[in-house]
Amino acid sequence: MITVVDPTPQSVKELVAKVPAGLPVVMLNLLRFREQADYRPEQGQPSRTGREAYAVYGREIEPYLREAGGQVVWEGAAHHVFIGVPGERWDEVLLVRYPSRDAFLSMLKSPGYQAITFHRTAALEDARLIVTVQGNSGLVK
């Protein structure tokens, strides 16, 4: 099973190419925490669980999220993958709304935000971040 935690330059390019500008986006976050956070010694962090490290990230992201116009609209524990890859499991699900893909990208490029992402990386064993735009698919009336 492939695990992924951080975005790549290619994923940023594809976000710009595939997600329309100027429309609100909701980011679907699927999170699986490490048992023990994986900090590097030079980061000078105390021993924490992955969940505890993500909580630090959650507190520290708040001003950058606000500045970008973003807000957590829903969060909850993931209990069971009903349809998915066999053996796949997630611990938590977050829905985060941003006014646009560019607002999200602006936050990602912020030096202050970049300075705190090591908590997220240390915390997560695996993650998915799926960009959604409300649309007229015709599936929901």
Whether residue 111 is contained in a domain is answered as yes
Domain count, the chain: 1
Whether residue 120 is contained in a domain is answered as yes
Domain of 110: which CATH number? Answer: 3.30.70.100
- Confidence at residue 31, expressed as pLDDT on a 0 to 100 scale: 97
Contact in structure between 123 and 94 (CB atoms under 8 Å): no
Q: What is the radius of gyration, based on Cα positions, of the chain?
A: 16
- Confidence at residue 87, expressed as pLDDT on a 0 to 100 scale: 86
Whether residue 72 is contained in a domain is answered as yes
- Confidence at residue 37, expressed as pLDDT on a 0 to 100 scale: 98
Q: How far apart are CA 84 and CA 8, in angstroms?
A: 24
Whether residue 51 is contained in a domain is answered as yes
- Confidence at residue 5, expressed as pLDDT on a 0 to 100 scale: 84
- Confidence at residue 104, expressed as pLDDT on a 0 to 100 scale: 97
What residue numbers bound the domain in which 106 lies?
9-132
Residue type at position 62: E
Whether residue 3 is contained in a domain is answered as no
Whether residue 64 is contained in a domain is answered as yes
- Confidence at residue 74, expressed as pLDDT on a 0 to 100 scale: 97
∠13-64-97 over CA atoms, to 5°? 65
Whether residue 1 is contained in a domain is answered as no
Please identify every stretch of the chain with a pLDDT value under 70, giving residue numbers as ranges. Answer: 1-3, 136-141
| Ramachandran angles phi, psi of 10, nearest 5° | -65, -40
Whether residue 103 is contained in a domain is answered as yes
pTM beyond 0.85: yes
